[in-house]
Chains A and B, each alone.
Chain A
Amino acid sequence: MTRYIFQRVIYMLLTLFIIASISFFLMKFLPGTPLNVENKLSPEQQEIILEKYGLNDPLPVQYFNYMAGLVQGDLGISFHFDSTPVSDILLGRIGPSALLGAQSLLVGTVLGILLGLVAAINHNGIMDYTSTLISVLGKSIPSFVFAGLLQLVFAVQLGWLPVALWGEFKHTILPTIALMIFPLATAARFTRTEMLEVLGSDFITTARAKGVNEFGIVFKHGLRNALIPLITVIGPMAVSLMTGTLVIEQIFGVPGIGEQFVTSVMVVDYPIIMGTTLLFAVLFVVIILVIDLLYGIIDPRIRLAGGEK
């Protein structure tokens, strides 16, 4: 097991290296330089700045320098935000995004699984149709529509919560609800389909023949088997939620990383673009690893040799 994880970490580093290289060169193809945006400097001053930040070096040299810094954990210094280290900016911004993402993923998935379960048990019944309706609406209506509606009802009309503010837990409620609709709809849909299939399988009949009651059938025998495919979809969803969704962060005034990323591209802030891309990539590969390990816990058939005697 340790050997497997070690192996996977090596692959992860390799993946990150490739992602870093590709995005470095792609980024350099962006039109303009960091100085285009506030072009109030004389050509001489510009030249001095380009020289100082090493932007006049040939591309391979720049690449080598950046990668050398990266290996030592140095993400560079932002061009745009008063020479703040990139790592500080990212650390300050990832918190709110990750909190919102984790909250909406957790609540959305749990509610979605429950909704899907109820739908599967009540197959073709009224709850099944309700669940289908919720799922279809949740998947097809973009989250910013919900965001607007939530603000209108709970902030403007009822006045329970602020329209857009960040600081306390209650400020996270509305953006979390707006964000969780999608994972909820996805989880409900998946759980329903998988659960129906599992409930029709032979081993459920075996369990019934043993005299297991409906609760045991659904939770002990059914759910675990139905959840295996769901894990696959939750992974990428988790990453996209945790790394922040630009629109929702804008609407609710959340100082998250999604907004940061877009600004950095607009102002061609090379170190921030690289830093954010790499952060997303790290999150992604780590979550994929976690999911692969989770498979082993939920499904003994893919448990690794050596993991258990």
Chain B
Amino acid sequence: MEKILEVKNLRVSFDTYSGEVQAVRGVEFDLNKGETLAIVGESGSGKSVTTKALMRLLPEPHGYIKDGQILFEGDDLAKKTPKQMQKIRGKDMSMIFQDPMTSLNPTMKVGAQIMEGLIKHQKMGKTQAKKRAIELLELVQIPNPHERINQYPHQFSGGMRQRVVIAIALACNPKVLIADEPTTALDVTIQAEILDLMKDIQKKTDTSIIFITHDLGVVANIADRVAVMYAGKIVEVGTVDDVFYNPKHPYTWGLLGSMPTLDSEEEELFAIPGTPPDLLHPPKGDAFAPRNKFALEIDFHEQPPMYPVPGSETHFAATWLLHEYAPEVEIPASVKRRMKDISKSSDSGEGEKQ
């Protein structure tokens, strides 16, 4: 598999009045050509900040890349000047945002917003760009594109606006598409439509997608690989099967355990106790240790390295439980039950994917 994006030891900090907040603390991952990588984690885990950093859309100078490399086709984006980034954004990498109600310019026609990137990056003329914009609206399945192109965002529904945002992102055939919770603000039926659309488009264009979400159901539906983030770090990464059916990190167990499924028989929904750490003063050892009932003594003193999970080439987890001297730990029964439920409900989804 050809790697299109390699992120190495990425650290992002924000300067605030109370000090430096380390929002991302050494994230590493690869993105292969044509694959969908899902990044999951709770609010504040650094998912969005990571992707904003990839696009160099951090609110500089308060938010900045402190360290690390973002290798896009071997080229380090972290070292590019703002001018150079303007040529990459929208052309090679583009982004879909969470809230379609606010992410379109209210005083600009939808067509003009789509054409903007085409005129800038592909040096198209007005007529040519307009033709392409109509094609793009057709691609994202908006009916009557010839009329719709001359309308303003307020004349579109939420789901239709998100299709427009997707069309803008796809305009120049980007190699990497970053979707930052693109379905969170939509209602469930529209969510499913947008996900299907994205899968469909990926099949047609062979774009690599980074898909940020906190909805594990969406992950099972769309992703090839999953990275689980906690407190600014990736704690577990692997294929969907690796992470969903053989999770190794206690935080992943917690996430899976706290996911409601339709056929669960328990009366109470499991929740991970406690709250995420304050990244103004990151903990010394494993950030998850205080909330982890399986935490070992060493978890409070030293951060665990990424261990390859035995029996898999794609699966890694940062937990001391994978150390050769670590005690055997049984996955909690509730998580096991949940995993069984998920495998049942996503079987149909898997079939569709092939």
A residues neighboring B (CB under 8 Å): 201-203, 205-213, 216, 220-221, 224-225, 298-301
Contact = CB atoms under 8 A, between A and B. Distances in A.
Given A210-B117, A210-B168, A298 B89 contact: no
A211 B87 contact: yes
B106 A300 contact: yes
A211 B154 contact: no
Contacts of B106: 203, 225, 299-301
Given A209-B169, A210-B171, A211-B90, 14 more contacts: A201-B102, A202-B102, A203-B102, A203-B104, A206-B165, A209-B55, A211-B86, A211-B120, A212-B86, A212-B116, A224-B108, A225-B106, A301-B106, A301-B152
Interface in B138-155: 152, 154
A211 B97 CA distance: 15
B336 interface: no
19 contacts: A201-B102, A203-B103, A206-B95, A206-B97, A208-B57, A209-B90, A210-B94, A210-B116, A210-B120, A211-B89, A211-B90, A211-B91, A211-B120, A212-B90, A212-B120, A213-B83, A224-B108, A225-B105, A300-B107
Contacts of A225: 105-107
Contacts of A205: 57, 97, 103
A209 B57 contact: yes
Nearest to A203: B105
Contacts, number: 75
A182 to B, nearest CB: 28
Interface residues of B, number: 31
Nearest to A228: B107
Interface of B: 55, 57, 83, 85-91, 94-95, 97, 99, 102-108, 116-117, 120-121, 152, 154, 165, 168-169, 171
B103 A202 contact: yes
B84 to A, nearest CB: 11
A42 B63 CA distance: 86
A211 B88 contact: yes
A206 B104 contact: yes
Contacts of B95: 206, 209
A202 B104 CA distance: 8
A98 to B, nearest CB: 31
Nearest to A227: B107
Q: Which of A213, A225, A300, A301 has the most CB of B within 10 A?
A: A300
Contacts of B88: 211
Q: Which of A206, A209, A224 has the most CB of B within 10 A?
A: A209
A206 to B, nearest CB: 5
B195 to A, nearest CB: 20
A300 B113 CA distance: 15
Q: Which of A206, A298, A300 has the most CB of B within 10 A?
A: A206
A211 B104 CA distance: 15
